[in-house]
A = this chain, B = another copy of it.
Amino acid sequence: MVKTSIPKTTGTSTLGMVAKAAGVSASTVSRILNGTAVVSEAKKQAVDEAIARLGFVPNPVARGLAGGRTLSVGVVTQSIDSPFYGVALRGIEDELDRVGYSPLFVSGHWNATEEARCIDMLRSRRVDGIIVLTGRLSDAALKQYAKALPMVATGRRLKAPNLYTLDFNNFEGARLATGHLTSLGHQRIAFIAGNSEHPDANERLCGYRAGLEAAGIAFNPELVASGLFHEESGMLAAERLLDTRQRFTALFAANDQMALGACLALQRRSLRVPQDVSVMGFDDLSISRYSIPPLSTVHHPAYELGQGAAAAMLCLLRGEKPSFNLPGPRVIARESTAAPSTRP
Contact = CB atoms under 8 A, between A and B. Distances in A.
Interface of A: 1-11, 57-62, 64-65, 70, 72, 79-83, 86-87, 89-90, 93, 102-107, 111-113, 115-116, 119-121, 123-126, 136-141, 144-145, 148, 197, 199, 231-232, 235, 260-261, 263-264, 267, 286-287, 289-294
B80 A4 contact: no
Given A4-B116, A10-B120, A290 B231 contact: yes
A264 B235 contact: no
Contacts of A61: 61, 64-65, 70, 125-126
A66 B292 CA distance: 57
A69 to B, nearest CB: 11
Contacts of A106: 102
Contacts of A125: 60-61, 72, 102
Contacts of A235: 290
A86 B82 CA distance: 8
B6 A126 contact: no
A2 B136 contact: yes
Given A2-B112, A79-B90, 6 more contacts: A1-B197, A2-B197, A61-B126, A90-B107, A104-B104, A261-B290
Contacts of A293: 267
A294 to B, nearest CB: 7
A102 to B, nearest CB: 7
A141 B6 CA distance: 6
A89 B85 CA distance: 14
Contacts of A4: 112-113, 115-116, 137-138, 140-141
A78 to B, nearest CB: 12
